[in-house]
Amino acid sequence: MDRLLRRLLSRFICRGSISFATADGTTFRCGDGTGVPVAARFLTHDAERRVLLNPELALGELYMDGSFVIEQGSVADFLAIVMSQPAAVPDWAKPQWWLRYLVRHLGQLNIRGRSRQNVAHHYDLDGRLYALFLDTDRQYSCAYFETPDATLDDAQLAKKRHLAAKLLIDRNDRILDIGCGWGGLGLYLAAMTGADVTGVTLSNEQLQVANARAAERNLSGSARFLLQDYRDVPG
């Protein structure tokens, strides 16, 4: 194990100066001797195996659980050396990196069926949950705090006002709101600018709330919300 660890780490770390001590007490130095010297120690054989199998993930976990310690210098010094190497990933870990990349890429393909499942999983929940942490208009992100003492409701209203002003929206414009949420922005734009707004969502819960709010405010003629994938919107 010590020989393999030394061979692989020495091939990867060719800049800087890091001394490693293994769980069996063997020590070896990697790098060209430049910069701030750093010394690190593996406290268990399991820690050594994990670094060899999955260095990108294992190093951080081992440092946190105490089975890989920095004995000279700081963890920042250690990371500075590791991150300065010509290769971003050790040669022996590249097949794993590519495999994880492909699996992640396949898992994140945004096909229509998966989009609906993801949205339903996230948003088709009891509205009382979102009332706990959203503003009264159910805006989901990017509140615009104009002053330090602004409330969340103030900041979300400022966001909508800011967006309308930057887009120079007027009553002759047609607006498509992709991922319209509970309709807050679309309803604001329809009411304040007179623009014709269409919002699309894949959440049944959001759709019902948005259309009900449009009807309550007599805005159904200028703000409509559809259960539709944005890729299927014509025009």
Q: How far lies 233's CA from each of 13, 119, 215, 229, in Å?
A: 52, 18, 23, 7
Closest by CA position to 25, among listed 42, 3, 50: 42
Q: How far lies 58's CA from each of 70, 183, 195, in Å?
A: 15, 44, 54
Residue 29 has pLDDT above 80, yes or no: yes
| 92: confidence class by pLDDT, cuts 50, 70, 90 | low
pLDDT score for 218? 96
Q: In the chain, what percentage of residues exceed pLDDT 70?
A: 94
Domains annotated for the chain, with CATH where assigned, are 2-92 (3.30.1050), 112-232 (3.40.50.150)
CA 172 to chain centre: 37
Kindly state the tokens that stand for 187.
Answer: 């309803």
pLDDT digits 0-9 by tens, 132-144: 999 988 998 899 9
Q: How far apart are alpha carbons 55 and 66 in whole angstroms? A: 16
- Crossing angle of the two packed helices 45-53 and 55-65, in degrees rounded to 10: 150
Q: Report CA dihedral (58, 59, 61, 63) to the nearest 10 degrees.
A: 150
pLDDT digits 0-9 by tens, 136-169: 889 988 999 999 999 999 999 999 999 999 999 9
Q: How far apart are alpha carbons 81 and 42 in whole angstroms? A: 18
Partnered with residue 223 across adjacent β-strands are 197
pTM above 0.75, yes or no: no
Could you tell me the strand order of the sheet in which 38-42 lies? Answer: 27-31, 17-21, 38-42, 68-72
Segment 209-219 mean pLDDT: 95
Q: CB of 144 within 8 A of CB of 158?
A: yes
Pairing of strands 223-227, 68-72: unpaired
